[in-house]
Structure 1
Amino acid sequence: MNKHQLKVNHITAGYGDKTILKDVDLTIPSNKISVILGANACGKSTLLKTVARLLQPSSGKITLDGQNISSLPSKQLARVLGLLPQSPIVPEGIVVADLVSRGRFPHQPFMKGLGKKDYEAVEEALEIMGITELSNRRLDELSGGQRQRAWIAMALAQQTDILLLDEPTTYLDITYQVEILDLLTDLNRRKGTTIVMVLHDINLSARYADYIFAMREGTLVQEGAPKEVVTEELIQKIYNMNCSVISDPVSLSPFVLPKGRHHVLESCAS
């Protein structure tokens, strides 16, 4: 199990003159699956980009094992921390195996190609994602679920101890969502990979997360285990939505039932 400690120390960040994150302070639990929840434009993706050093904070710092990540060489950081962004750019005509092999860049010596360990890492990543038979297929020929598995396999081939995933299940039907989350859970349990995800589905988040960070308007409003965080009060606060929270009969995790307009009208009439 890796023991890397990733900390966000009172960061403020944004784009140009627009501030998105406001004094966010948190510690990522090692060897756990964490999910960042919040309404659209609350700063979830901006937080991941800042943690991955794609965005420089205007104040505060991100530390990895006590060192400011801004001082770490790029390849050194990329051997520990990997990011799958929300909408990765698809290289034209690339086949799955070539895409996944790009995850090996941080481990390659200067001006040298793939070695035995690199090919083994690519094969393992393809196997974990269940797409070995697709290795010679073009990415643009695959279904949405298959493409997403290929992108995640590329991140896995990087063999980092910390993996950041920005909406890995977006645009996928429920079957693919569950399959991908099951695969990531298995990776976490077998290898101890620290996983941090942005997810939109509250109930899937509560079922799969060990820890939840809830954000609202660029600030962290609550954090903790799903049973501590996913409450009617919190959902109202971060989504402005009335709901009931019950226990999921399968996983026993919190399960959110929205109270729609029809329910409100019935309540007023009774």
Structure 2
Amino acid sequence: MELQVSSLDFGYFTKNVLKNISFTARSGEVFGIVGPNGSGKTTLLKCLRMALVPKRGKIKLDGEDITKWDRTEIAKYFGVVPQNTNISFPFTVLEIVMMGRIPHLGRMQSEGKEDIEIVKRAMKLTAISDLYYRYASNLSGGEVQRVIIARALAQQPKILLLDEPTSNLDINHQFETMKLIRYLAKKENMIVVIISHDLNLSMRYCDNLLLLDGGKVFSAGRPEDVLTSENIRKVYGVEARIDYNTAIKSNQITLIDVVE
């Protein structure tokens, strides 16, 4: 399966936010979107699921234009993990994950055995089966993040969109989350699109990257080709050194100082 974006523009009134964005994300890969604050990353993610309607361009899933789909149809294909999810209501983990089944239920229809099995599998995939009846408001940040990912998986989406899923997490939970995301892409054959501010995690766990700057594509391709010292200097205004780390079998970025 392929998610194809071509010549996409988006703006608010007279302000252009995204300009001529084109890329393709495929099943079985983690596609990362990186760039400075204000470069249009979250706006692009919202356009992909039609929460924002592009002014121009096409968004196609296996050649079919999704801009003509209704919200229920989009929700069946796109699972979303938003940034900084705050759960203040007294819902149990099971209740939250079950919310992912809503797009598949008819009006006034209750969950059936199949829905329960799908939810159980989503919880197993995200290693939260032991949290079944715990209240989400009592969970740690890493646990909450896995609950929200499980809710998205309960939709049985073909595409998983995640907006900075490792922000505000402890280091160990960052690695756990990225490993889970990569597992979902590889073993569940999903299209995974992730926004990240962490360049080293993006270098290590993403298969392809889109580097945005000022609402435009500055670079796109393999992580080692996108996150170069020159590109980091031009886009982020920071001097960086890139070395291959044999322990993690990936390039590693050392940020040195701001460009004078």
- Using the TM superposition, give the Cα deviation of residue 70 of structure 1 relative to its aligned residue in structure 2, in angstroms: 2.0
The 8 Å contact of residues 45 and 166 in structure 1, kept in 2 or not, is answered as yes
C-alpha separation between the residues in 2 aligned to 1:193 and 1:136?
28
1:118 to 115, 134, 141: 115
Aligned to 1:98: 95
C-alpha separation between the residues in 2 aligned to 1:230 and 1:251?
17
How big is the alpha-carbon RMSD for the aligned residues of Structure 1 and Structure 2?
Answer: 1.7
| 1:134 maps to 2:131 | yes
**Higher alpha-carbon Rg:** 1
| 1:148 maps to 2:145 | yes
AA in 2 matched with 1:14: G
Q: Secondary structure at the match of 1:171?
A: coil
Aligned to 1:157: 154
Q: Secondary structure at the match of 1:260?
A: strand
AA in 2 matched with 1:85: P
The 8 Å contact of residues 88 and 137 in structure 2, kept in 1 or not, is answered as no
C-alpha separation between the residues in 2 aligned to 1:30 and 1:15?
32
| 1:174 maps to 2:208 | no
Segment of structure 1 superposing worse, 22-31 or 168-177: 22-31
Map 1:166-205 → 2, pairs under 5 A: 166-205=163-202
Map 1:9-24 → 2, pairs under 5 A: 9-24=6-21
- Using the TM superposition, give the Cα deviation of residue 68 of structure 1 relative to its aligned residue in structure 2, in angstroms: 2.1
- Using the TM superposition, give the Cα deviation of residue 91 of structure 1 relative to its aligned residue in structure 2, in angstroms: 5.5
Aligned to 2:56: 59
Q: 1:82 to 1:16 in 2, by over 3 A?
A: farther
- Using the TM superposition, give the Cα deviation of residue 115 of structure 1 relative to its aligned residue in structure 2, in angstroms: 1.1
C-alpha separation between the residues in 1 aligned to 2:84 and 2:168?
11
Aligned to 2:238: 241
Provide the identity percentage.
37
- Using the TM superposition, give the Cα deviation of residue 65 of structure 1 relative to its aligned residue in structure 2, in angstroms: 2.2
C-alpha separation between the residues in 1 aligned to 2:55 and 2:243?
41
| 1:215 maps to 2:212 | yes
C-alpha separation between the residues in 2 aligned to 1:92 and 1:130?
22
C-alpha separation between the residues in 2 aligned to 1:18 and 1:83?
26
- Using the TM superposition, give the Cα deviation of residue 171 of structure 1 relative to its aligned residue in structure 2, in angstroms: 0.3
Unaligned runs of 5+ in 2: none
1:7 to 4, 8, 23: 4
The 8 Å contact of residues 90 and 135 in structure 2, kept in 1 or not, is answered as yes
Q: Give every structure 1 segment of 4 or more consecutive aligned residues whose post-TM-superposition deviation is greater than 6 Å.
A: none
Total equivalences in the alignment: 260
AA in 1 matched with 2:38: A
C-alpha separation between the residues in 2 aligned to 1:188 and 1:254?
21
Structure in which a larger fraction of residues adopt strand: 2
The 8 Å contact of residues 230 and 254 in structure 1, kept in 2 or not, is answered as no
C-alpha separation between the residues in 1 aligned to 2:190 and 2:60?
18
Query: Can you list the C-alpha shifts for 1:35-67, whole angstroms capped at 9, x where unaligned?
Result: 111111101110000001100111222122222
Q: 1:16 to 1:144 in 2, by over 3 A?
A: farther
- Using the TM superposition, give the Cα deviation of residue 250 of structure 1 relative to its aligned residue in structure 2, in angstroms: 2.0
C-alpha separation between the residues in 1 aligned to 2:219 and 2:152?
29
Query: Can you list the C-alpha shifts for 1:17-42, whole angstroms capped at 9, x where unaligned?
Result: 43211111111233211111111110
The 8 Å contact of residues 136 and 144 in structure 2, kept in 1 or not, is answered as yes
AA in 2 matched with 1:80: Y
Unaligned runs of 5+ in 1: 266-270
C-alpha separation between the residues in 2 aligned to 1:24 and 1:97?
38
AA in 2 matched with 1:251: I
The 8 Å contact of residues 242 and 251 in structure 2, kept in 1 or not, is answered as yes
Aligned to 1:268: none
Q: Secondary structure at the match of 2:238?
A: coil
Aligned to 2:77: 80
AA in 2 matched with 1:256: I
The 8 Å contact of residues 28 and 187 in structure 2, kept in 1 or not, is answered as no
- Using the TM superposition, give the Cα deviation of residue 14 of structure 1 relative to its aligned residue in structure 2, in angstroms: 2.8
- Using the TM superposition, give the Cα deviation of residue 79 of structure 1 relative to its aligned residue in structure 2, in angstroms: 1.6
C-alpha separation between the residues in 2 aligned to 1:18 and 1:170?
28
